[in-house]
Structure 1
Amino acid sequence: MKIITVEEHFDTPANIKQFNAYSEVKNNNPHQDMLNATLTDFAKHIDYMDQYGIDMQVISDAGNSPQVLPDNLVVEACRAQNESLAEAVAKYPDRLAGLAVVPINLPDEAAKELERAVTKLNLKGGIISGTVDGQFLDDPKFEPIFAMAEKLDVPLYLHPGVIKDEQKAILYDSKAYSPALATFMGGAAWGWHMEQGVQMVRLIISGLLEKYPNLKLISGHWGEFVPMFLERLSEFLPFSGLDLPHSFEYYYKKNVYVTPSGMYSDPQLQMVLTEMGADHLMYSEDFPYIERKENVQGFMTKADLSEKDREQFAHGTAEKLFKL
């Protein structure tokens, strides 16, 4: 079966060095040196794909994203990262496609870099990691980025990012368990997914998708909790004065595409499939942070899907959305 995974990651030695020098949140992954060796070596991506039956990866920088760098460095850092990605895609054009990282805190520059990355470097969209130093993307200042994505007809992948220390202290630090567990609770286990779900909800209720009706957004980890609450949000938000011509779930089902990010759980698949339909589902592994190996093919093959939906989930939606 043809497999395209769409939330797969890379990095460069130069960006890792800058990220470590400037990021307020240090990378505490105990396997980071091993991960860096894979992130920075595109041949290792190809070897892994060959071994486990993956036809194509759509790759991006989301773990050590240059978007956290100071404003005086971030534009050039994003340009360099995107050029490195474009070189790899050009070397393996039938196996790799890419999403651009952009200097989010400088929205006009971010829009320019997205345009350059798509029109000059042949990248297929953009990726944004979490909030921008605590700023949610519904702030009107970020609109130029979304306007450019709609103009170019390319999607934006809204990936989680590290939450602010203040959020972690209030929501996850506890006298009942260790600081290490609090860090995981505030991060990959729960916190950054919850924040990214809030991000998506805020964007929709801000009216962004009414203003930019052809904008396409992607959400990993089965939608970062949001698909479970589509009906609830649609029912209750109007009571608070939400004045949009359509319901919350209308915008979500029309404009948002969902991937599993390696969370290969059949109950979650069935719930999101029921809400979204296979034409809004894409496959992803989150390589190399997660390596499901044989289960990349195994989960897709065994999932309770019609053959039409299986092909759509495995590669069809990605081919259409990214114009592969």
Structure 2
Amino acid sequence: MNQKLDIFAHVLPTNLLKSIKKDVPSIIEDNLFLQISSLTDLKLRHQNFPQDVKQIISNVNLNPEDYFDGEKSAQMCGDANDEMIQIQKANTDIFESVVAMVPMNNLDEAVKIIQQVSQNPSLVGIQLFTRALGKSIADPEFEIVFKTAAELNVPIWLHPVFDGRKPDNNLTFSWEYELTQAMYQLVLADYFEKYPNLKIIVHHAGAMVPFFAGRIKYTLPKYYEDFKKFYVDTAILGNSKALELALDFYGPKHLVFGTDAPFAVMPNGATQEIMQAIDEMNISDIQRNGIYRDNFINLLKEK
């Protein structure tokens, strides 16, 4: 049995939640996704878990920097990373490794965490979001994070968040736009040219980019090839043809298995639905094995 590696799955470290809740009592009521039981209930998480899958876990979108100063945020991120490592070690039958949190309002400490990731076999990368502190993740203020990650061969997981300036945010479409816009901004910042070893894994199959590849080619010809340098996951809740489109654009080595578990299909996520879509893709067995495991293993080889 070949082990499949789901590289984009989430947990909620309970001690982190408790720490934030002390100062933000309404945190759960303000963020309904935090109420999903299988983020914290690992007995529930184990139920009907596919025997041939292990998950790489990252925190849900709950960032200390949104609520606390840089010193406290750094401490909370460090503690949460340790907590997630302990969660993984206590559940090695379903969890493979951890993607670390970094405090974007304390970049010195963010750099230290990236250095820790490069040396700790339990940590495989860092998670960033499309916006931080009200700014694009491609803002020059944050460049040191990308520079350090590239120099140390630490992959970046890119997750969407809403842009609070917009009045009509919605879960179905807004996050795909935000991912696309962040990719556009990162490419225009020339990060792939400055940092050739930079590895960024984009959630939700690269969002709008594969569908609009032609527009990119003819309206942004200078940057077309840089858009292909992202890695993308399969977390679009099915749709084999869309996954084939993503594979066609990014190439067979840049598509990796990710489900966004435990979201979308209760209680544990859309793992079965996404695996069915991958299995129905019109691709070779070598390409399918690449998606399920080999591409991610190769991505990590330099870490």
Output the TM-score relative to the length of structure 2. 0.87
1:195 to 173, 178, 187: 178
2:215 to 232, 244, 264: 232
Counterpart CA distance in 2 for 1:23 and 1:117 is: 31
Superposed displacement of residue 18, structure 1? 4.2
Superposed displacement of residue 193, structure 1? 2.1
Counterpart CA distance in 2 for 1:258 and 1:312 is: 13
Counterpart CA distance in 1 for 2:19 and 2:91 is: 27
Q: Which blocks of at least 5 consecutive residues in structure 2 are unaligned?
A: none
Query: 2:297: which partner in 1?
Result: 319
Query: 1:175: which partner in 2?
Result: none
Write out aligned runs for 1:100-115 (5 A): 100-115=100-115
For the 8 Å contact 1:52–1:296, the answer to whether it is kept is no
Cα 1:16–1:93 change in 2 (3 A) is same
What's the secondary structure of 2:6's corresponding residue? strand
Superposition misfits of 4+ residues, deviation over 6 angstroms: 23-26
- 1:93-112 residue CA offsets vs partner (Å, 9 max, x unmatched): 56421110100122222111
Superposed displacement of residue 228, structure 1? 2.4
Structure showing the higher strand proportion among its residues: 2
1:56 to 43, 54, 61: 54
Counterpart CA distance in 2 for 1:82 and 1:317 is: 25
> Within the alignment, does 1:248 sit opposite 2:226 as a pair?
no
1:68 to 51, 66, 72: 66
Counterpart CA distance in 1 for 2:288 and 2:10 is: 24
For the 8 Å contact 1:128–1:156, the answer to whether it is kept is yes
Query: 2:250: which partner in 1?
Result: 276
What's the secondary structure of 1:154's corresponding residue? coil
Counterpart CA distance in 2 for 1:124 and 1:23 is: 32
Superposed displacement of residue 285, structure 1? 1.0
1:257 to 219, 222, 231: 231
Query: 2:153: which partner in 1?
Result: 153
Counterpart CA distance in 2 for 1:304 and 1:105 is: 45
Counterpart CA distance in 2 for 1:23 and 1:250 is: 46
Superposed displacement of residue 206, structure 1? 1.1
> Within the alignment, does 1:286 sit opposite 2:260 as a pair?
yes
> Within the alignment, does 1:299 sit opposite 2:299 as a pair?
no
Write out aligned runs for 1:115-130 (5 A): 115-120=115-120, 122-130=122-130
> Within the alignment, does 1:214 sit opposite 2:189 as a pair?
no
Cα 1:68–1:31 change in 2 (3 A) is closer
Counterpart CA distance in 2 for 1:147 and 1:315 is: 27
What's the secondary structure of 1:162's corresponding residue? coil
For the 8 Å contact 2:162–2:178, the answer to whether it is kept is no
| Segment drifting more, 295-304 vs 132-141 | 295-304
For the 8 Å contact 1:62–1:159, the answer to whether it is kept is no
Alignment: residue pair count = 294
- 1:225-281 residue CA offsets vs partner (Å, 9 max, x unmatched): 12223342342236xxxxxxxx3221122x310112242111211211111122000
Structure showing the higher helix proportion among its residues: 1
Superposition RMSD in Å: 2.5
For the 8 Å contact 1:38–1:44, the answer to whether it is kept is yes
Query: 1:134: which partner in 2?
Result: 134
Query: 2:16: which partner in 1?
Result: 15
What's the secondary structure of 1:124's corresponding residue? strand
Counterpart CA distance in 1 for 2:42 and 2:297 is: 21
State the AA in 2 paired with 1:70. F
State the AA in 1 paired with 2:85. A
Counterpart CA distance in 2 for 1:217 and 1:99 is: 13
For the 8 Å contact 2:13–2:59, the answer to whether it is kept is no
Counterpart CA distance in 2 for 1:22 and 1:140 is: 30
Cα 1:294–1:237 change in 2 (3 A) is closer
